[in-house]
């Protein structure tokens, strides 16, 4: 197998794996999902308690922040992984980035629709918007980093 073929298979495997992780987490019933994010919040509170006095951290607000940041970060990575896989066979253009962005938005929409059928979960437009910002940020930063890397590489 050629190196480019191995790279392609690996890149798409990572992207598809990450889509599976998103699907798996979305498929958890509301109670299980809440327990997972509550565990993360407890960890964050313990870490922050060294720097911030107790009582200044509002748990409910932090819980919401952790849940919404998870959306942002999951789709940030999805945008990066899919763009990387697509760019193995294509050049970086606005059209390519837009295609990847639209794909991630469609996946986010399908994910929220999927949650409508999971006990204790709901589909929210707000989450699709957060997912979209995460994806756009990941795609933009990856594109910028790739341009910088290519320029430095050409300069050598």
For the chain, the structural domain boundaries read: 3-155
| 77, 79, 125, 59: CA torsion to nearest 10 | 20
pLDDT at 60: 78
pLDDT at 44: 74
Spatial distance between the Cα atoms of 73 and 70, rounded to a whole number of angstroms = 5
pLDDT at 153: 87
pTM: 0.88
| Segments of the chain with pLDDT less than 70 | 1, 54-55, 57
């Amino acid at each position: 197998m050629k190196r480019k073929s191995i790279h392609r298979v690996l890149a798409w495997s990572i992207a598809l794996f990450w889509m599976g992780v998103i699907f798996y987490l979305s498929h958890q019933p509301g109670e299980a999902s809440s327990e997972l994010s509550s565990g993360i919040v407890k960890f964050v509170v313990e870490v922050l308690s060294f720097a911030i006095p107790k009582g200044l951290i509002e748990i409910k607000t932090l819980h919401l922040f952790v849940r919404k940041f998870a959306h942002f970060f999951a789709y940030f990575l999805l945008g990066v992984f899919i763009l990387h896989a697509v760019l193995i066979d294509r050049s970086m253009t606005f059209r390519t980035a837009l295609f990847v962005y639209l794909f991630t938005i469609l996946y986010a929409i399908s994910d929220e629709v999927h949650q409508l059928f999971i006990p204790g979960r709901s589909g929210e437009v707000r989450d699709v918007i957060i997912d979209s910002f995460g994806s756009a940020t990941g795609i933009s930063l990856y594109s910028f980093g790739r341009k910088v890397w290519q320029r430095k590489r050409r300069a050598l």
